[in-house]
Every structure is written in C-alpha cells, then in structure tokens.
Amino acid sequence: MAWRLRWATQEGEERYAMMGERVSLWTDASGELSLTRPAEGWEWAALLDDAEHGPQLLWRHEPEGVRQERQGEDITPERVPRDDDELQAMRWALRAGDRVLFEAQGVRLEIVATSFGGQRELERVPLAEEVTASAEASLASLALHRGLNRDEGWKGLLARLEQVLQEQGIFREVEASATILWAGNDAFYHEVIWCGRCEEAEASRPGGQESAPLSSLLARDPELRHAVIEAGDAVWRLHQGEDAELFIPFGNGHQACGAFFASGRLAGEASEHREALGRVHGIFDSPASALCERHRLERQLAEAIEENRYFRERERRHYLFKDLVCESAAMRQVYEEVHARVDDCDPVLMTGEAGTGKELLARALHHLGGRQGGMLIRLNCAEVPRELVDIELFGCVASELIGAVAPREGIFELARDGTVFLDEIDRLSPLIQGKVVRVIREGEVRRIGEGVGRRIETRLIASTHHDLQALREQGVLREDLYQLLAPGVLEVPALRERREDILPLARIFLAKFAHRHSAACRSVGPELAEWMERYGWPGNVRQLQSFMESAVLMAREEEVLDGQVLRAGERT
C-alpha cells in the first residue's frame, strides 16, 4: 500500500502534494496538524502498512473533524482497538481507494490510499510510436523556447504544462506538477523542481517536505524507471476513481534528461489520450531539454564559484597560519591588532624599520578581510618617477599631451573592491597626497585629463619607516593625510625586539631555500643558533632571509648549518 497526501491551509493557500509508502505528520493534544515537528510536546500520526495490522492510520491524539470516504460515500471509521504496547495509538483500518479527510483549524488534509499491486498499476504509452509533432505543436514549442529566454524557467514551463494537459482534455484538473531531473544510473535521489500552486518553483533536495517521496520514486520502482528513463515511454499510474499520475519523459536525442510529473483528476480513460500525449511530448520535449542543459550549466557555474571560494579561503588560511610567525609577545600583539582590523575598511598606516615585514602584514589584512575577492596592488612610491606617479595611481585618458595612446586605469581603479598598498607613502609629493586623501574620503577616482569621476570602494594600506610625527612637523606628510592615517597606525617591531621569532623564521627560510636549491641542509646547529639570537639584525627579517639563503648555498652538502656559516656570519 502506498499513500498520496494533499495538504492545504487557508492562510496563504499553501498546497503540497506528497506521495510515499509511509507518511508522517505531527499533532498535539488538541489535534492540530503540522508537516514538521514545530515544538516539544508534539507527537506523531503516521500512515503505514505492516504485515500484522495491514494498511492503517495511526493517530496518537484523535482529532475532531476527521471523516473517512470509500467509493464516494462517507463511512464510519473501522477502528481497530488499541494494543497494549508502548505505542498506545488509535488505529484506523484502511482499504485501497479510501480517502481520509481532515478539515479543521484552517487546514485541509486529504490522504488517499493507493494500491500499486493491481492490474492497473502502470499503463505505458510508447511515445516513439506516435505521429511526429504537427506544425501547430512545433510553433507552440518555439513559443516556449522564447519564453525560456525571458527567464521564465521551470516555473513557466510547468505552469504551461498544466494548462496544456487540461486544454488537451487529458486532465480535468491538475493538482500538482513537477520536473524530475535524472541524476544518473547510480543515483538514489533525483532533483525535483515543484510547481503546483506555489508562487515560486524551488529545487527540492532529499529530506524536503515535497521532494523525498517523489525524488526517490524512479530508484524505488524499477519498472517505472525502465519505462520512463530507458524506454522513453509516457507512464500512467491509475488509482481508484479518477485520480491519476502521469510521467512524460524528455531528453536530448537518445539521452534521457528527466521527466515531467503531473497528478490530478483524469478525464475519461487513459487509453483515449495516446495521441494527445504525443502532441504534449512534441511541444515540451525540446524546451525542457534546453532548460535542463541550462540548469546543468548553472549548477556547474555554482560549483565553480564554490570551488573558487574554497581556494580563496584556503589562501586566507595560508596567510594566517603559515607566514605570520608570532612566537614573541611583541609580534602576538601585532597579530591581535591585525586580526581586529581585518573586517573594517578603514585606512591603515604601518610604521617600522625597513625589512620588518610590513608588506606581509598588508597581504594578511587583505586576504583575511572582507575585500579578499578584489585585487591587492602594491606600489613602492620611491620607485616610480615623480612625473609618472599621478598616472600610476589615478590613470589617464588617451592624450597626445601626456603621451598616452590609449586610456589607462590607475591602481586605485584596478583595485576597486580591493586593497591598495602604498609603500613609503611619505615619498609622494604634497599634491599627490591630497589627491589620495580625496579618493579615499569621497570614494571617487578621476583619471588625468578626464572631467568625470568614477566610483570605487578601495581600502588604503600605507607604510613608512620614518617617524610619523617628525614627518608631520617637517611638512613632508600633509596634515589631512596624517589625520586620515593616524587612527589606524600599526607599529611593526624590529627583529631585535622579537628575538623569540628569529629561530622559527630561520627554520622556515631554511626549508624554503633548501628545497629551492636542492640542498641537504635540514637544521640550524646550536652554535649558529646562539649567534643568530645575539646578533642585532639591522636589516631585520629581510636580512635574515638573505643570510639563510647564502648559508644554504655555502653549505649545501651539510645537513646542519654551523661552523663555516658562523664564520661567514661574523664577517657580515
């Protein structure tokens, strides 16, 4: 015995059509019903068929307003006495074709008991034997194609299917319709997109209210699967009375893509509608195949976007856990300040000696923050000629006056929705500093020679290895730029102020350069390690990195760096 359930509420006119061998509902002591368990204290009602009791409705709390209908007439429920077991449920005996109706508290519930073991279980209609689609059907199919281009999608296609099924006299009333997208030979669940009377057609996944019974139907019923997917036949499932379910396959050439599902009240006998089904198939097969292909490409795009998001997240973790060495208390404090600022978009100014790793921290701020989807562009302001800084930062239009043969984007425009890192920002002229302030405060960049600004959302990270207050007093740093950057100052300690990080950094550089140069070096000897911790490292991390590469090249056949490396280090 299997069951079909129709559920409707007066509020919002929600309607569902479910089919399955077991249907579970939830009810409270007052008899109120729900498709999902809404709160503690609710118990269950279920439809099932077992060898001991036969088809039955189990109801923990017997509700009011329930009636049982058999062959169009109301009957007195054939109530089976309670068992003396832990279930303690009211059992109502059911037969194939019976309807159980519940109308109370704004809910209408209709349960139909259907037997699939009778002679009318499946009735197949070989679509391949039908006449080729007429010109009228071809024109209707073309109109559906045009509708798909207007983004009507499955919702519009299913709504049109319901209309055509009734216009062709196949159904008196279509109560629910759906598309079953075939997931392959080994798939137990298939994706189901419902229409029915819902305002939006949503793809249902296993476990959803509507999808679970129908999505696994092709896997559970080998005969239906063979007829619809492998043979490409339309299939009727006929029940007692006028209730019927129809499956119409569609595919791309000889490859099955899925099937349409429709349930409702059949008009006449199923055998009378063979030619009408052929016409319906001719109208909907091509549009459905095209829409299925578009659905597949959209799913692939979503998977690619998710894969891209995964690798971006992994890149963020790379910056967080690998490159930032924070063994010392001074560096842990810097890390905490970086972590506190990753989610905002305020400008940041990093100060500290050259070689302390300010660029690495700028990359961490970018990749750990909310702008990791945009570009991070670094510009060392001391390396760009003064006459070109304006163009590099803000771009230009094509102009013979400035020698630009084509329009060019500046780095602020290139890094829209991203981050711009200006190293040695104090090397910019006061005029350029003023333009930078305007770009950040107004969120607008104007190319050289252009009268219209362009909206951007870019985060500024700057750095300098000079004293900030001294730059301000000397007039090297404009007052408005100072006020913009002062709230976000991040002081990066010199390597001699974080001596606990020297050996961990040295081991990272050792592994990196030993792999790059195919050297045998694996560790730092105790004598060299002691010297490295005492040394002042005026060039900071950059000097340590250069020293480790030189050490690896000098003693590439030695597994332990010591001895001659130390003597070379003492001469540094």
Contact status, residue 490 vs residue 350, Cβ threshold 8 Å: yes
Burial pattern 3-37, b for ≥16 Cβ within 10 A else e, equals bbbbbbeeeeeeebbbbbeebebbbbeebbbebee
| CB atoms near residue 117 (< 10 Å) | 8
Q: What is the pLDDT of residue 435?
A: 92
pLDDT at 202: 38
Distance CA 95, CA 199 (A): 35
With H, G, I as helix, E, B as strand and everything else as coil, classify residue 427: helix
Strand segments (E) across 51-170: 54-59, 66-70, 73-75, 79-80, 90-93, 99-104, 107-114, 123-125
Q: What is the C-alpha separation between 175 and 56, in angstroms, rounded?
A: 25
- Kindly report, residue by residue over 240-276, the tens digit of the pLDDT: 567 788 999 998 766 778 899 888 888 888 888 888 8
Secondary structure class of 157 (helix, strand, coil) = helix
pLDDT confidence of residue 193: 82
Question: For the chain, what's the residue count?
Answer: 572
Residue in this structure with the two tokens 């020679």, named with its chain if needed? 449
Q: What are phi and psi of 109, to 5 degrees?
A: -120, 130
Residue 342 is predicted with a pLDDT of: 82
Return the sign of the alpha-carbon dihedral for residues 505, 511, 516, 519. Answer: positive
How many whole angstroms from its chain centre is CA 271?
Answer: 46
pLDDT at 98 (0 to 100)? 75
Q: What phi, psi does 495 have (nearest 5°)?
A: -65, -35
- Give the pLDDT score at 149: 55
How far is residue 339's CA from residue 348's CA, in Å, rounded to a whole number?
13
Amino acid letter, residue 252: N
What are the tens digits of pLDDT across the range 514-562? 989 888 888 888 888 888 888 899 999 999 999 989 888 888 888 888 7
Q: What share of the chain is helix, strand, coil (3-state, %, to 5)?
A: 40, 25, 35
Closest CA to 535 of 562, 569, 512: 569
Residues in contact with 192: Cβ distance below 8 Å, sequence separation at least 6, in sequence order: 178, 179, 180, 181, 203, 204, 210, 211, 214, 215
CA distance 188 to 225: 11
pLDDT of residue 204: 37
Decide if 532 contacts 509 (C-beta within 8 A): no
The DSSP secondary-structure symbol of 87 reads: -
Structure tokens at 538: 């005026």
CA dist list (Å): 116 to 2, 57, 123, 178, 183: 7, 18, 12, 21, 25
Q: Spell out, as residue ranges, where the chain has pLDDT lower than 50.
A: 86, 116-120, 129-131, 197-212, 321
